Amino acid sequence: MAAKVEVVLKNVAETVGEGPHWDDKTQSLLSVDIMSNDVHKWTPETNEKSKIHLNDFVSLVVPSEKNDYIIGLGKSLARLDWNTQKVTVLHEFDQNVSTRFNDGKCDASGRLYAGTMGLEKAPCVLEHECGTLYSYGVDGTIQSHETKVTISNGLAWTQDNKTMYYIDSTPRKVYVYDFDLASGNMSNRRTLINFPDYEPAETMGLPDGMTIDTQDKIWVACYSAGRVIRFDPETAKILQVVKIDALKTTSCCFGGKNLDELYVTSAKAGYTEEEFRTKDPLAGSVFKVSGLGVKGYPAYPFRG
């Protein structure tokens, strides 16, 4: 059965649609529009849509066990109460450096991993190697795991929690680490997938957001290539390519009642109005891919 791709939220993001997160508890899809400073929530069952506008770039949104959300807000991590829209900053990172948070996710213990990147002058035009991958523990413990990161991006863990995957978009690499869940330590970094090895470049783009399925295969959104690629981490071979009708594909997550639908976000930033109309009219939309024959796991909430 061929996968079916449909637009579920047309042009919902004005700038960079990112960070899709399926909230299993509320059966809703969370996402952000980074440069518009907006967090979006959509419940497919009722088609109810809501949005909260904030006062800085918002780059990630993860539910917490306290029924609020952890967000990346500029270079801070903060709590967001959806009902009151109250924001409580937890910690500001990267003092004296012009950065912002990008992608973030929780591991199985409920510890949040989130990385920073330099502020962009234009899409993908930024100072290199000034970002850091951090973790923020349930008790507020902060660890730094990677430095000299350019565009901190996709994160995923295998089901046994012994392996972690992480993307830095600009060198176009997916890295793999040995992972220790108890301490949160990442070690023995190797390059798992080097995008330049899979030329031509225009068919691959930049590796952006990422998710993992129940077979421990990774799905990588390919920015500027309009596709999501499923890779086998054992062999680094391409298993499946899903074409998305928006070139600037940014990230993906599994969702839906059975976690067998792949939700894909995309960006509109960087286009003139004419380029948007003529070249990429669905830019900024959220897509749903069904009929893939695989499913994901429920995403972990922040446990603090």
Residue 188 assigned as binding residue:
no
DSSP assignment of 53-76: E-SS-EEEEEEBTTSSEEEEETTE
Q: Is the dihedral of CA 164, 24, 13, 66 positive or negative?
A: negative
What is the spatial distance between Cα 90 and Cα 78, in angstroms, rounded to a whole number? 5
Residue 280 assigned as binding residue:
no
Neighbours of 187 (CB within 10 A): 11
* 208 counts as catalytic: yes
Residue 208 assigned as binding residue:
yes
Residue 168 tokens read as 């830095």
Residue 18 assigned as binding residue:
yes
Of the CA atoms within 13 Å of residue 217, those in its CB half-sphere come to 18
Neighbours of 303 (CB within 10 A): 17
Catalytic residue selected from 168, 208, 213, 260: 208
Residue 49 tokens read as 């849509």
Residue 245 tokens read as 């009708």
Residue 153 assigned as binding residue:
yes
Residue 47 assigned as binding residue:
no
Residue 124 tokens read as 């993908």
163-168 and 173-180 beta bridge pairing: antiparallel
Binding residues for a divalent metal cation: 18, 153, 208
Binding residues for substrate: 100, 102, 120
Active-site positions read 208
